[in-house]
């Protein structure tokens, strides 16, 4: 089968022919229909991600497809069932074997491209804003990188939770996408002073930041007393340092979040969140924004869209 594979530590990721896998104990084999790309995939290729597997492995963290066969001791989901799976790896291929316990049956009317764009982006934002920040209706939420894969879902979920949402992104086109998702106020990071603009709007009670770097510093200085700051990622390449004395002065809280980490110690946080999100999807209250759908042979192009920040929402690969 074809897969975007890393055979050893000296090789780069590339489309290769490899053997089709067989499911082991506790696993299912999935005929993959769609795989969502994530910034973490770029970090894996540079061996900078906290859960980078040892080669050989196939890139691709979240997939949707149809169950083909079950491994020993697995009772379901039954072959023929459409599911989404967060596997952490193995998704950029025609077939993949994943932990059956992670497979989530999909609504009949949910396309595979939506399902593959759903789990990490929506899950991260919902767990961050609801479980970690405990955001309340009427609070002001500042979203940095608001047109990106996770940022756009934070805008959408923030509005659903009753927040006033300030969306920060680069350029009019990206801000238009954030406005369509429900943002109340827009800040162009390419030409406006983030700190001054946010303070003029009354300051931020919650900051959602997948960017880091200078934007984090500006947002940090625009917080209201008792604000909560969520470092989600560092797409800028710069991990900011947090001055503890400033936390004290304004009684601020910095709340780290690694969505996938909950699988290891509190998986019910993710399953409860996903149940809520799928309900919202079926009610038409949320809808994944997929800017690019590309075939497997154009995976490099899809990764470049993320690397160069030319995508809005999600990029999905369809084997």
Q: What is the pLDDT of residues 129-159, one digit of tens each?
A: 999 999 999 999 999 999 999 999 999 999 9
User: What sign for the dihedral angle of Cα 264, 266, 268, 272?
Assistant: negative
Give me the pLDDT at residue 223, please.
97
SS (H, E, C) 59-96: CCCEEEEEEEEECCCCCCCCCCCEEEEECCCCCCECEE
Contacts with 293 (C-beta within 8 Å, 6 or more apart), sequence order: 113, 316, 317, 318
What is the value of pTM for the model shown?
Answer: 0.90
Between CA 191 and CA 199, with CA 194 as vertex, the angle to 5 degrees is 135
pLDDT category of residue 120 using cuts at 50, 70 and 90: very high
SS (H, E, C) the chain: CEEEEECCCCCCCEEEECCCCCCCCCEEEEEEEEEECCHHHHHHHCCCCCCCCCCCEECCCEEEEEEEEECCCCCCCCCCCEEEEECCCCCCECEEEEEHHHCEECCCCCCHHHHHCCHHHHHHHHHHHHHHCCCCCCCEEEEECCCCCCHHHHHHHHHHCCCEEEEEECCHHHHHHHHHCCCCEEEECCCCCHHHHHHHCCCEEEEEECCCHHHHHHHHCCEEEEEEEEECCCCCCCCCCCCHHHHHHHCCEECCCCHHHHHHHCHHHHHHHHHHHHHHHHCCCCCCCEEEEEEHHHHHHHHHHHHCCCCCEEEEEEC
Give me the pLDDT at residue 259, please.
94
Contact 132, 152 (CB under 8 A): no
Q: What residue has token string 């769609």?
A: 34
pLDDT category of residue 10 using cuts at 50, 70 and 90: confident
Residues 279-292 have a mean pLDDT of 94
Residue 118, pLDDT above cutoff 90: yes
Give me the pLDDT at residue 257, please.
94
pLDDT category of residue 240 using cuts at 50, 70 and 90: confident
Give me the pLDDT at residue 271, please.
86
Give me the pLDDT at residue 11, please.
82
Token pair of 48, please?
Answer: 């900078």
Q: What is the pLDDT of residues 295-306, one digit of tens each?
A: 999 999 999 999
Contact 207, 145 (CB under 8 A): no
Q: How far apart are CA 291 and CA 310, in angstroms?
A: 10
Residues 72-90 have a mean pLDDT of 95
How many other β-carbons are positioned within 10 Å of the β-carbon of residue 137? 8
Token pair of 90, please?
Answer: 């193995």
Residue 12, pLDDT above cutoff 90: no
Contact 227, 207 (CB under 8 A): yes
């Amino acid at each position: 089968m074809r897969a975007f594979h890393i055979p050893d530590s000296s090789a780069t990721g590339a489309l290769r022919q490899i053997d089709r896998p067989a499911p082991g104990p506790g696993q299912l084999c999935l005929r993959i229909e769609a795989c969502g790309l994530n910034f973490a995939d770029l970090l894996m290729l540079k061996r900078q991600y906290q859960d980078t597997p040892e080669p050989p492995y196939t890139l691709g963290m979240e997939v949707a497809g149809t169950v083909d066969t079950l491994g020993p001791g697995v009772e379901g989901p039954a072959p023929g069932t459409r599911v989404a799976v967060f596997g952490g790896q193995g998704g950029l291929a025609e077939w993949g074997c994943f932990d059956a316990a992670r497979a989530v049956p999909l609504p009949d009317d949910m396309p595979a491209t939506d399902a593959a764009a759903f789990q990490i982006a929506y899950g991260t934002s919902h767990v961050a804003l609801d479980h970690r920040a405990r955001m309340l209706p009427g609070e002001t939420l500042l979203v940095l990188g608001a047109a990106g894969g996770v940022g756009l879902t934070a805008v959408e979920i923030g509005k659903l939770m009753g927040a006033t949402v300030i969306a920060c992104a680069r350029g009019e086109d990206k801000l238009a996408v954030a406005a369509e998702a429900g943002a109340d106020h827009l800040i162009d990071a390419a030409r406006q002073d983030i700190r001054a603009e946010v303070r003029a709007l009354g300051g931020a009670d919650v900051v959602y930041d997948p960017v880091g770097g200078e934007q984090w510093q500006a947002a940090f200085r625009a917080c209201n007393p008792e604000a909560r700051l969520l470092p989600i990622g560092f797409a800028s390449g710069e991990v900011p340092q947090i001055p503890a004395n400033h936390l004290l002065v304004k009684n601020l809280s910095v709340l780290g979040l690694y969505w996938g980490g909950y699988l290891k110690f509190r998986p019910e946080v993710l399953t409860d969140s996903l149940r809520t999100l799928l309900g919202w999807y079926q009610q038409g209250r949320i809808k994944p924004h997929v800017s690019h759908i590309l075939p497997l042979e154009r995976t490099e192009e899809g990764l470049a869209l993320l690397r160069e920040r030319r995508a809005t929402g999600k990029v999905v690969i369809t084997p």
